[in-house]
Structure 1
Amino acid sequence: MPKFLIADDHPLFREALKGALSPLYEAVEFTESDGLESTIESIERSGHLDIILLDLSMPGCENFYGVIRVCGDYPHIPVIVISASDHPKIISQALAYGAKGYVSKSAAVASISEAIDTVLNGGTWVPEELKNQIDNISDEQQEIAAMVSELTPKQFLVLNYLQEGKLNKQIAYDMSVTEATVKAHTSAIFKKLKVNTRTQAVLLVEKLQTNI
């Protein structure tokens, strides 16, 4: 019995995708998540998954952290990114960070099914019309992604707050933790990213972003 994880923060999209795929896969079992934290919990709880259909922009997945973290921690489970964007630069980065396929949310069900079948059989799938536009990303971006993959979800959340320019006191309030905990997370971030200041950390992670 195949088991698919649909990781997307829009319940209606998850329901629509389940409804579209159910007739195509005999006795398929679906599990769902709506953010990075619940995705990791679902992976751990499921025991066995055949494929993960992952949204790039759900909570906790900013700056490609979701695909970096899931693909890095669970390399034995193939990931297909299903995103609202079909820009070649974004597809290139998602594939470079470990995704085995990339499908636009506007794609026909037949295309999504083709992507799933291709990836389940060990292949890689991107829209035919975009194949010639996929580029290799820079060594620097690969190195940054490797460092970012070492951050825990809490540390990545703190890093996002740093990008927003928030003070430790504000971050502590938003996370319901002490300022000492925020400082500890910040120190860990600096060490893992090999930087010394907030500004350096923010500028580094911004290099993962795709300006389109």
Structure 2
Amino acid sequence: MDVLRVLVCDDSDSFREGLRALLSTSPEVDVVGEAAEGAAAVEAALALQPDVVLMDLTMPGTGGVEATRRLLAHSPHIAVLVLTMAEDDASVFAALQAGARGYLLKGARKAEILRAVQAVTDGGAVLGAPVATRLAALVAGRPRPESVFPELSAREREVLVLLTEHLTNGEIAARLGLSEKTVRNRVSNVLAKLRVATRAEAVAAARRAGL
């Protein structure tokens, strides 16, 4: 029986400890390392080459989305399974676009987490029930951002969607793994391309477009 090598990435010491304890109850899983910040997660993943990385999104410094993007650029064979509190549409899309193979919310049951670890290792895609429900509703009921704002880049569209969630520049930076200066520049680009003067007007334009 092959043992799955897992790297746990989360900024909460207690959560990492609990997750390690949970995973250690399975003879099919071996937790080979931990990381508390996105850049450290990338470094550990490239060094350890685990089968699966359990990735939180809201870590300090480099966020989980950017960490996922970076590590998969070098080691695309590693399966990233997001395990986070963030369940908003923008976070789900950003993580999946970065290459994550699964997305679970913290609070998922032990059996669900273990099944997800196995599934993403086998090449499958896993969405927790609450996330799958939101994603299905989103796909069925809303236009894609690029279809209504083709002038925006992919990153600018991510920023616009997060603006509709009323996040601050600091919160957007943490979510996307960017600096606040970069986010400010992206917000300015969004306002200029949408020909609006304020964030509120940009949100209003996004709402009118159905986002």
TM-score under structure 1 normalisation?
0.64
**CA-CA distance at 1:27 after TM superposition:** 6.1
4+ residue runs over 4 A deviation: 139-142, 156-159
**CA-CA distance at 1:129 after TM superposition:** 4.4
**CA-CA distance at 1:20 after TM superposition:** 0.5
Aligned-partner SS, 1:24: coil
Partner of 2:68: 67
User: Counterparts of 1:23 and 1:205 in 2: how far apart (Å)?
Assistant: 48
Partner of 1:26: 28
* Aligned AA (1:93): A
User: Counterparts of 1:6 and 1:67 in 2: how far apart (Å)?
Assistant: 13
Contact 1:61-1:67 at 8 Å conserved across structures: no
**CA-CA distance at 1:125 after TM superposition:** 0.2
User: Counterparts of 1:78 and 1:127 in 2: how far apart (Å)?
Assistant: 16
User: Counterparts of 1:22 and 1:13 in 2: how far apart (Å)?
Assistant: 14
1:143 to 154, 173, 178: 154
User: Counterparts of 1:113 and 1:95 in 2: how far apart (Å)?
Assistant: 20
Contact 1:60-1:66 at 8 Å conserved across structures: no
**Is structure 2 residue 132 aligned with structure 1 residue 131?**
yes
Partner of 1:41: 43
Partner of 1:175: none
Partner of 1:8: 10
Unaligned runs of 5+ in 2: 157-172, 192-211
Partner of 1:118: 119
Contact 2:9-2:55 at 8 Å conserved across structures: yes
Which runs of structure 2 are paired with 1:54-203 in the superposition (5 Å)? Answer: 54-62=55-63, 64-134=65-135, 135=138, 138-139=145-146, 143-144=154-155, 160-162=179-181, 200-203=185-188
* Aligned AA (2:116): A
Q: 1:112 to 1:5 in 2, by over 3 A?
A: same
Aligned-partner SS, 1:59: coil
* Aligned AA (1:77): I
Aligned pairs, number: 163
* Aligned AA (1:68): R
Identity across aligned pairs (percent)? Answer: 26
User: Counterparts of 1:69 and 1:41 in 2: how far apart (Å)?
Assistant: 10
* Aligned AA (2:121): L
